Structure 1
Amino acid sequence: MHYFNREHVEQTIAIPLAIELSQIAFALQSQGKVTQSVRSIIPAPDGRLMGTMPAYISESKYAGFGLKSVLVDFNPHHGSSSHEGCILLFDEQANGHMVAVDAGAITELRTAAASAWATHLLAPQHATKLAILGSGLQARQHLLTMLAVRPIQQVTIWGRNQTSVDQFTTWCAGHPTLNNVEIKIAETPAKAVSDADIICTVTAARAPLLQLCDLPQNCHINAIGASAIGFQELDPAIYGAVEHYVDSRESCWNASQCLQQAKEKGYISANHVSQEIGELGAHRLEKRPERTLFKSVGLAVQDLVFAREVLYQNQ
């Protein structure tokens, strides 16, 4: 079995390619070329989770069987990924039938790239103000990918942990692509998003951080952090007041507590059908509503597409 580590992943997939791969993965999902089960999660008493995500892709350069197995620690040591594990690729005849790729590195890239692709399609065209709730590795990756799709000039950060926020701002100060970007710190989530064009929520919150009244009149939200039952970042009322898109209808309705509560409380009608981001193709919304939202819980097809790209470019 051949193994590709974090360094292989980071050297192979730059942000523009990651966004392109996201488009491909979501198109495969919405075209029915992927067979994947809903993520299986096993919780531990200390709050950690183990997730497994199998899938099969057909009719594509990325076709084949694969499985992501990952341990999620919501309180990782500083600088460590919250997701540690492997993506296993099967049917790779030229590589001893099986290939393993670092799951933490792939997860960081593909999650932020998914948000960037959704932002490209849904956000205000001339958005310059970004708000990020969260200050970990995913927050950093989201900042860099948002810069690739919109002319961001101001970034406002909110985080629960002041040490992590300080480390985030230090990282920003030393990053060459952020020299002309103003970085601000907010005391509360509501203050962070008060004038934002784009909002990225990348936390492990277990209760809503934002209420409907907190949102600007015209904005796009990437709701990323609450990807399992028991986690929430947005009040369910928000889903009834925005035009929302998902990475997968089945996965989001099974894993998003906010979506489930939005329907239970009547904010979304009982027969509501969420639209998948892959159904938009490569076309931006012609008549953009004032508020849009992309809800992502993460899909195995993303992991397999990214992992096979690493394999193909390193053969």
Structure 2
Amino acid sequence: MRVIAASEIEAALDYPSLVERLRQAFRRDVEAPPRHHHDIEVAGRTPATLLLMPAWQAGRHIGVKMVTVFPDNGERSLPAVMGIYVLLDGKTGAPLALIDGPKLTVKRTAGASALASSYLSRPDSERLLMIGTGALAPQLILAHAAVRPICNVLIWGRDPKKAAKLAKRMNRRDFRVDWTADLEAAVRGAHVISCATLSKQPLVLGDWLQPGTHVDLVGAFRPDMRESDDETLRRARVFVDTRAGATTEGGDIVQAVASGALALDDIAGDLPELTRGERSGRRYYDQITLFKSVGSAIEDLAAAQLVYERA
């Protein structure tokens, strides 16, 4: 059995290849049962989450990801998300690889957002707003830039120092990255807004959105979390990664449905429907679109297969 480290994953998964592999995976018959989701009490701290995510492609591979989410880990200079991925032979069940979970997760998550953006954002999108400064932020910036001509990026975070540090690290002559403390102005000026936080209060307000904006909501993976308000959901053509996951776990969807701002029938489509051509994405230039992801085991398996082939 091979052990594949984070550095090998980073080298193996360029975003153009990963986005295309994800596109093909959502078109195929990959079995992905609902993930196991368990809340774990942590004394004196924010509750943690344990996620178990299986998927398999008959005759090829079986995969299982075990992930923990400890929201307070930032106070200890540790990532909030940790875990491992086990890839098994689909014909014999033999273990093939043990893969670094956090790196695989951020790469496939960012890749899924870029895949959605390829259907939902305007083809001429150049200005990206990144809300959040965690491990996903740099990956989301690079992923969105792989499918759209992004050349100007603003980063907003609750800690301006982290936003400034990330912007300095990613800025280059042909790819301008800066940070901002004015979230409203940044939202108003963005073509694509990507949000990856553990917020329980809306950060993106619908009244701020300009016609033609694409909103990519990656955080808020629990029903009690939220990154956008009801008005955002009312104004947007809404898509999700998978209906089963987003409608039961994604706080932005769950809370908007509970308030009446969104009906389940208002969800225009998911990634399987988009990639198979069963649903149209952006319908017109000035339309506001929104993609809500909570993660799918299909994405993990597709990324793990590509890593195993290349690493």
TM-score, normalised to structure 1, is 0.88
2:306 counterpart of 1:309? yes
Tell me if structure 2 keeps the 8 A contact 1:26–1:247: no
Following the alignment from structure 1 to structure 2, what is the Cα–Cα distance between the partners of residues 243 and 273?
Answer: 7
Following the alignment from structure 2 to structure 1, what is the Cα–Cα distance between the partners of residues 20 and 264?
Answer: 34
2:283 counterpart of 1:287? yes
Tell me if structure 1 keeps the 8 A contact 2:35–2:54: no
Tell me if structure 2 keeps the 8 A contact 1:130–1:154: yes
Aligned match of 1:106:
104
2:169 counterpart of 1:162? no
Where do residues 74-153 of structure 1 align in structure 2 (5 Å cutoff)?
74=71, 75-76=73-74, 81-91=79-89, 96-153=94-151
Aligned match of 1:49:
48
Tell me if structure 1 keeps the 8 A contact 2:61–2:91: no
- How far the C-alpha of 1:81 sits from its partner, in A, is 3.9
- How far the C-alpha of 1:71 sits from its partner, in A, is 1.8
Unaligned runs of 5+ residues in structure 2 are: none
Secondary structure of the corresponding residue to residue 245 of structure 1: strand
Letter in 1 for 2:108: R
Unaligned runs of 5+ residues in structure 1 are: none
Distance 1:95 1:131, change over 3 A: same
2:177 counterpart of 1:183? yes
Following the alignment from structure 2 to structure 1, what is the Cα–Cα distance between the partners of residues 20 and 61?
Answer: 20
Distance 1:235 1:147, change over 3 A: same
Q: Among residues 269, 272, 294, which one is paired with 1:278 in the alignment?
A: 272
- How far the C-alpha of 1:146 sits from its partner, in A, is 1.4
Secondary structure of the corresponding residue to residue 84 of structure 1: strand
Number of equivalent positions = 305
Letter in 1 for 2:203: L
Q: Among residues 290, 294, 297, which one is paired with 1:297 in the alignment?
A: 294
Q: Among residues 37, 41, 45, which one is paired with 2:34 in the alignment?
A: 37
Aligned match of 2:240:
246
Greater alpha carbon shift after TM alignment, 102-111 vs 184-193: 184-193
Tell me if structure 2 keeps the 8 A contact 1:156–1:183: yes
Following the alignment from structure 1 to structure 2, what is the Cα–Cα distance between the partners of residues 59 and 94?
Answer: 11
Letter in 2 for 1:188: D
Following the alignment from structure 2 to structure 1, what is the Cα–Cα distance between the partners of residues 180 and 109?
Answer: 24
Aligned match of 2:169:
171
Task: State the percentage of identical aligned residues.
Answer: 24
The one-character-per-residue Cα deviations of 1:23-62 (angstroms, maximum 9, x if unpaired) are: 123323xxx53231134132332225233233232357xx
The one-character-per-residue Cα deviations of 1:75-123 (angstroms, maximum 9, x if unpaired) are: 4379854321101123367895352111111011111111111111110
The alignment yields a C-alpha RMSD, in angstroms, of 2.4
Following the alignment from structure 1 to structure 2, what is the Cα–Cα distance between the partners of residues 273 and 169?
Answer: 34
Aligned match of 1:58:
57
Distance 1:57 1:151, change over 3 A: same
Aligned match of 1:3:
3
Greater alpha carbon shift after TM alignment, 240-249 vs 32-41: 32-41
Aligned match of 2:19:
19
Distance 1:121 1:274, change over 3 A: closer
